[in-house]
Amino acid sequence: ALRGVVALDGPSGTGKTTVARKLAARLGAGYLDTGAMYRIVTLAVLRAGDDPADSDAVGHRAHEADFTIGTTPDHPELRLAGEDVAADIRGPEVTQAVSAVSAVPQVRELLVSRQRRIIADVLAETGGIVVEGRDIGTVVAPESPLKVYLTASADVRAARRSGQDSAAGRQSSVEAARESVQRRDHLDSTRATSPLRAAEDAVPVDTSELTIDQVIVALSELACRRG
């Protein structure tokens, strides 16, 4: 079983979530989707009618929001005020607004400290956790023995994202997915507070030409050597 934290960062459409969950299951480890936490806060902002560009309102809403996130790799529970919001947080409204919300420093401060607490709890319980996001190797868990930075070509990422949308019953086209993925990457990598970037000691893995299973095998080997 895995000991410690595997930090899995990278832009959207690189297969991060699928890889992180399968890897955690295979290693008998916990799993934390930090993107889901930014999405839940964004849903709370939208439901309250706050303007996602109003950072004071957004920061305040984040502190008020009552949400929980599960840490099991198969069906991590996501609840906002007790309601199951696993589907709602993947919808187009949240996806459109999440980069603005996640750029607010008070939101990041709050969520990073919650993430560190969750990681410490899971480590105490099971000894290992796979954590996925944008700033895990750089900010949330810079001491991780294994940091991986997933990438994929723009074409592959657009095709994967649009495939996921249609599989979930949402309207989608590869062109729309390409624009949405590029817009989000641009916002995420140019924000002032903990922008998306690879840690210096992260292992880069280009998933463009790899199946999910090939990525899992490669990462399990790395985890066994370093974890």
Q: What residues between 116 and 145 interact with ligand C5P by CB under 6 A?
A: 133-135
Q: Is residue 157 a contact point for ligand C5P (CB under 6 A)?
A: no
Q: What residues between 65 and 104 interact with ligand C5P by CB under 6 A?
A: 98-99, 102
- Any known ligand binding at 16? yes
One of 21, 27, 29, 38 touching ligand C5P (CB under 6 A): 38
One of 22, 39, 147, 160 touching ligand C5P (CB under 6 A): 39
- Any known ligand binding at 18? yes
C-beta of residue 1 within 8 angstroms of C-beta of residue 127: yes
b vs e for 174-210, b when ≥16 Cβ sit within 10 Å of the residue's Cβ? eeebbebbbebbebbeebeebebebbeebbebebeeb
- Any known ligand binding at 35? no
What minimum distance in Å lies between the beta carbon of 225 and ligand C5P?
Answer: 25
Please name which of 161, 150, 159, 155 lies closest in space to residue 206, comparing C-alpha atoms. Answer: 150
Specify the residue, 89 or 224, whose C-beta has the smaller distance to ligand C5P. Answer: 89
Q: Is residue 15 a contact point for ligand C5P (CB under 6 A)?
A: no
> How many Cβ atoms sit within 10 Å of the Cβ of residue 118?
20
Please name which of 1, 69, 6 lies closest in space to residue 38, comparing C-alpha atoms. Answer: 69
Give the interface with ligand C5P as residue ranges (CB under 6 A): 12, 34-35, 38-39, 98-99, 102, 133-135, 184, 188
